[in-house]
Structures are given as C-alpha cells and as structure tokens.
Amino acid sequence: MIYFDRVSKVYSPTSIALDGVTFAVEPQEFVSLVGQSGAGKSTLLKLLLAEEKPSDGKVFFESLDVHELKKREIPAVRRRMGIVFQDYKLLPTKTAYENVAFAMEAAGKTEEEIKQDVPQVLELVGLMDKAWHFPSELSGGEIQRVAIARAIVNRPDLVVADEPTGNLDPINAWDIIKLLEKINELGTTVMLATHDKEIINTLKRRVITLEKGKLIRDEKRGRYVL
C-alpha cells in the first residue's frame, strides 16, 4: 500500500530531513512512526501526501508514484487517505454534522449518501448526541473525534494521523488511539506519527523509528526506545 524506496529530502545543505529511507506498509497494518522532534516524521508524511517532493528516491501509494502525479490527479489520490492533525482544523462555523458532511460534499457525494453516512460515522466515533454542536461547544477529545469522523467518512484506504493526541490529556488520548484501532480493525490501514511513549509501548504494534532523518529501527511489536 505504501512503499518508500530510498527516499531522501534535503531542504538545504545543512537541513537533511530524510536520508535514504526505505520501508513498505501492507494493507490493514497499523504502523506508528516515532522519533524526536526534527527526526523527519512530518517530512515523511508530507512526501506521502504529495505536499513535498523527494530530493531522491520514490514514494508509492497503492502502486502510484506519488510524485509523478499530475496536479489535477492529486486531490483524488488524497481522498483515498484520511488525514487527522494535532490541531483538528475543523470549520468553526459548522456543526459536528456539517463538518463531516462538508468532506463528503467536497468529494462530490450526493445528498442521499451524505444523509446516510454522516450519522453512521458519528455513531462510530460515539458523537451522535453532539451532532449539532459547534466546535466551540465540544471538548478537545470530542473535537478530535469529529476530525476522525471527517477523515474516514469517504472510506479512505489509509488514515494518516499526525500527533492526533498532542493536545489531549491521557484519558482522551487513549480514547482516540482506541478509536484508531477500531478503524484499523474495520479494515483501514493506519499510520500514526507520535511522540507518546506510553501509547507506543501499550499498542504493541509495528513501530518505525526515525533519527536525524534515518530509519534506525523497524519492529513488528515495537517499543519506544530513544
């Protein structure tokens, strides 16, 4: 599903963000990406999302060379990836329901489909009772649930979560991780970038560790050792 083939990203001679990184992710895996600040996690995700181009090497998503795509082809490919950020990025003037519905409208879905799928996905993340609340009326954990609902509503093959628990207390953070596990069990590949040692050590899933742009460890049931 994802294949990084000797990928390097050099922003400037003194800023080598990724250095010869190679790994593959199979469909339905749950992979955590760890590393200290500056290790290259965000750069790796940006290359996958075609927001940046590699200086060397190739990035494949479902056998497509991401950086050979034409500009107009990129949105359709990105729609096959659901993205969750640390800082939510919900629209403040829309309710939970409307934020999720908006992602479906943007993907060209019909009214029928929207009416059917939005309640289903809000139910899945446990927020149906707050469907008509605005982000300002929701807690951090609830907002992140809406963001996850929005990321999965178009049934992506992959969910990319970049520090999704960064702004949450430990209890809410766990709920978000459990939700990502549930989504994974339902058949979606999950790629989680995190700093959180507790989470990594409890998940006991595959862990890819970056250090100064190099992939230094790739373990099936990894632990966070930095």
Under the binding rule (CB under 6 A), the answer on residue 43 touching ligand ADP is yes
- Evaluate whether 166 touches 192 at the Cβ level (below 8 Å): no
The alpha carbon of residue 143 and the mean position of all alpha carbons in its chain are separated, in whole angstroms, by 16
Choice between 6 and 178, CB closer to ligand ADP = 6
Contact mark string toward ligand ADP, 3..42, x via CB under 6 A: --------xx--x-x-----------------x-xxxxxx
Under the binding rule (CB under 6 A), the answer on residue 132 touching ligand ADP is no
Choice between 35 and 82, CB closer to ligand ADP = 35
**Min CB(109)–ligand ADP separation in Å:** 32
Q: Where are the alpha helices (DSSP H) in 107-218?
A: 111-124, 140-152, 170-185, 197-203
**Min CB(215)–ligand ADP separation in Å:** 12
Residue 89 vs residues 85, 121, 144, 146, 202: alpha-carbon distances, Å: 7, 18, 9, 10, 28
**Min CB(126)–ligand ADP separation in Å:** 29
Choice between 38 and 166, CB closer to ligand ADP = 38
**Min CB(218)–ligand ADP separation in Å:** 16
- Torsion angle defined by CA atoms of residues 52, 57, 59 and 64, in that order, rounded to the nearest 10 degrees: 110
Choice between 91 and 226, CB closer to ligand ADP = 226
**Min CB(104)–ligand ADP separation in Å:** 30
Residues 179-198 binding ligand ADP (CB under 6 A) are none
**Min CB(195)–ligand ADP separation in Å:** 9
Question: Count residues contacting ligand ADP (CB under 6 A)?
Answer: 12
Choice between 40 and 141, CB closer to ligand ADP = 40
Choice between 41 and 145, CB closer to ligand ADP = 41
Query: Which distant-in-sequence residues (6+ apart) come within 8 Å of 164 by Cβ?
Result: 84, 85, 86, 144, 147, 148, 176, 180, 192, 194
Distance CA(66)–CA(46), nearest Å, equals 11
Under the binding rule (CB under 6 A), the answer on residue 167 touching ligand ADP is no
Distance CA(130)–CA(152), nearest Å, equals 18
Q: Where are the alpha helices (DSSP H) in 49-196?
A: 74-78, 96-106, 111-124, 140-152, 170-185
Interface residues with ligand ADP (CB under 6 A)?
11-12, 15, 17, 35, 37-43
